[in-house]
Amino acid sequence: MRDVMKRKMLKAVIGLMMFAILYFVYSEHPSGIRNVFSGLNETEEITDSIHQIFCNRNNAIISGDLKLIESFYDTSTKYGTWAHQHELTKVKYIHNWEKKQGVKFTEIIPTVKVRSIKPKGEKYTINLMCSTEYKYIYENEPGVVNSFRIGTYHVLDLLYKDEIWIITREWYKDPFEDSLNLGKINVDSIHQYITTHAPRDFSNIGDRRKNAVAYAEKYCGAASEEKYGYKYNKKYRNYNSQGGDCANFASQILHEGGKFRKTHSWNYNNKGATRAWVNADGFKSYMLYSGRASLIAYGN
């Protein structure tokens, strides 16, 4: 009986303390409590708006609606204009790629993971990751849906203007970046070659190749599926901040998935990596001159 009374008194004391704290906050700062809940609601609103912007922007890329794309940016600012121009260039490239490959995009589906939202004067700075799935069909095989994924990490500023959230600045390392400045390539000959050739038969592909693909799909970071957590293999350093991670990732795929043995020249350990492991040109040279790879095509 005495223990029951003690528990009731403890609950009463805690309740009084919470009431006193809330009363103090409200009396000293009448808008304090409202601001807390307003902040929570605004964060949720910003997150929802970002998802909507990314979905609508991708739909506009498919339809070629340049006016809709422009509406997502504050083009009265320098950085907003730059972000808008980059997206327009990307739209042109994607549609040119469609013509070259003889395909049509049917859906571009973003999965956005907001990492942080920080106030910045009248704006908010958002750090996020986006895994985007591109679904497409070939002109001569409209019943078969193909897809690929691209992962991007964004830092952007949002401003609430004219009753909508718009982008005033956006930075992200775009996997399309290296191709955006190639200009309009001659698509006709490439299109003809692709559409007149039958798909290759991969039914008898070896286990080492299958395992290499499985490793790549699991550990490709933001480009992977949600079930893999959008992560890289923690056994290896991520060199993206040091100029790029492509050779390092290719080396992992061959070693972990394809079971290529490490050598003195091509190696990674807890002290670091050799040039052949982590540098694209070094990787290419090692693979060719060691006889582990052969050259099938050369570009400029």
- We report the CATH number of the domain holding residue 76 as 3.10.450.50
**SS3 for 110?**
strand
Is residue 141 in a domain?
yes
User: Does 174 lie in the same domain as 41?
Assistant: yes
Which pLDDT belongs to residue 11?
Answer: 56
User: Does 148 lie in the same domain as 227?
Assistant: no
The residue range of the domain holding 226 is: 207-289
Of 155, 174, 195, the position where a domain reaches its end is: 195
Question: What is the Cα–Cα distance from 236 to 251, expressed in whole angstroms?
Answer: 11
User: Does 254 lie in the same domain as 151?
Assistant: no
Of 195, 215, 238, the position where a domain reaches its end is: 195
User: Does 181 lie in the same domain as 214?
Assistant: no
Question: What is the Cα–Cα distance from 246 to 178, expressed in whole angstroms?
Answer: 13
Please state the rounded mean pLDDT for residues 115-136: 94
User: Does 267 lie in the same domain as 191?
Assistant: no
Structural domain total, the chain: 2
User: Does 104 lie in the same domain as 62?
Assistant: yes
Question: Closest Cα partner for 173 from 67, 251, 245?
Answer: 245
Question: What is the Cα–Cα distance from 222 to 234, expressed in whole angstroms?
Answer: 14
Is residue 146 in a domain?
yes
User: Does 224 lie in the same domain as 170?
Assistant: no
User: Does 124 lie in the same domain as 263?
Assistant: no
Is residue 23 in a domain?
no
User: Does 212 lie in the same domain as 191?
Assistant: no
Is residue 229 in a domain?
yes
Please state the rounded mean pLDDT for residues 114-141: 93
Among 38-42, 112-116, 253-257, which stretch is predicted with the lowest mean pLDDT? 38-42
Measure Cα distances from 7 to 12, 15, 16, 20, 285 in Å: 9, 12, 14, 20, 74
User: Does 169 lie in the same domain as 39?
Assistant: yes
- The pLDDT tens digits of the residues spanning 161-192 come to 988 999 999 999 887 776 656 555 677 888 88
User: Does 124 lie in the same domain as 267?
Assistant: no
Q: Above 70 in pLDDT, residue 145?
A: yes
Is residue 189 in a domain?
yes
Is residue 89 in a domain?
yes
- The pLDDT tens digits of the residues spanning 71-89 come to 999 999 999 999 999 999 8
